[in-house]
């Protein structure tokens, strides 16, 4: 498990804004596929994505950060406090 001094786990997400509901659809080609109900306006979809990931993993929202892709569909997320093993248990096939 990641802890103080250890680097954050990073992974890619392909996000579909205005996707009807906040949910993860699975992993395709090593990238997490997610959709959120929020539109891609003023960062609302990105914030919904970060909340969704935090909720699904049971970590505080502050431990989930957007590293790149703020205006793109494909994003890179950094996750503190969760080890690679736990992440792969949740989403097998995810490339970290």
pLDDT digits (tens, 9 = 90+) for 27-40: 999 999 999 999 99
Cα-based distances in Å from 46 to 3, 4, 6, 88, 95 = 25, 26, 25, 22, 20
The domain spans of the chain are 9-90
Domain 9-90 has CATH 3.30.1200.10: yes
Q: How many CB atoms lie within 10 A of CB 15?
A: 23
Cα-based distances in Å from 26 to 5, 30, 94 = 30, 10, 9
E strand or H helix at 64? strand 64-68
Q: How many CB atoms lie within 10 A of CB 33?
A: 17
pLDDT of the residue at 62? 96
pLDDT of the residue at 30? 97
pLDDT of the residue at 31? 98
């Amino acid at each position: 498990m990641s802890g103080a001094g250890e680097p954050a786990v990073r992974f890619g997400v392909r996000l579909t804004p205005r996707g009807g509901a906040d949910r993860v659809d699975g992993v395709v080609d090593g990238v997490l596929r997610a959709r959120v109900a929020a539109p891609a306006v003023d960062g609302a979809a990105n914030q919904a994505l970060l909340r969704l990931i935090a909720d699904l993993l049971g970590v505080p929202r502050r431990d989930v950060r957007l590293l790149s892709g703020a205006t793109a569909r494909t994003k890179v997320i950094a996750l503190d406090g969760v080890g690679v093993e736990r992440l792969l248990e949740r989403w097998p096939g995810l490339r970290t």
